[in-house]
Amino acid sequence: MPDDKPMKSAYELAMERLKKSDKDAGVVWEPLTDAQKSAIAEIRSFYEAKLAELGILHQASLRKTFEPAERQTLEEEQRRERERLTAQRDEKIAQAKKGT
């Protein structure tokens, strides 16, 4: 073999193709600053706590309810609230990544 370079894994080849396609599309990748990383960690921590609290309150409500229709309503409310909190978290993380 004329090249003494080790063979690249499929992952490395895929990452090179993605970087090339990003470069061709004009996408500029900038690493996150320490402040951004800190803000994102704080946002994730806050929303993990809110989701855990929601889960605990939901379980307590389910323990008090035995009627199937009411349990179904509680499940739907809990699902909607989880989706709302997750969407808020993702939006705040996106804002932190943009630096706004």
Model confidence pLDDT, tens digit, residues 18-53: 888 988 888 777 889 999 999 999 999 999 999 999
Q: Would you state the pLDDT for residue 26?
A: 85
Chain CA centroid to CA 95, Å: 13
User: How many beta carbons lie within 10 A of that of residue 57, not counting itself?
Assistant: 12
Q: What is the pTM of this model?
A: 0.73
Would you call 61 exposed, middle or buried from its count of C-beta atoms within 10 A (0-12, 13-18, 19+)? Answer: middle
> Residue 97: which of 47, 18, 30, 42 has the closest Cα?
30
% of the chain residues with pLDDT over 90: 75
Q: Is the pLDDT of residue 63 over 90?
A: yes
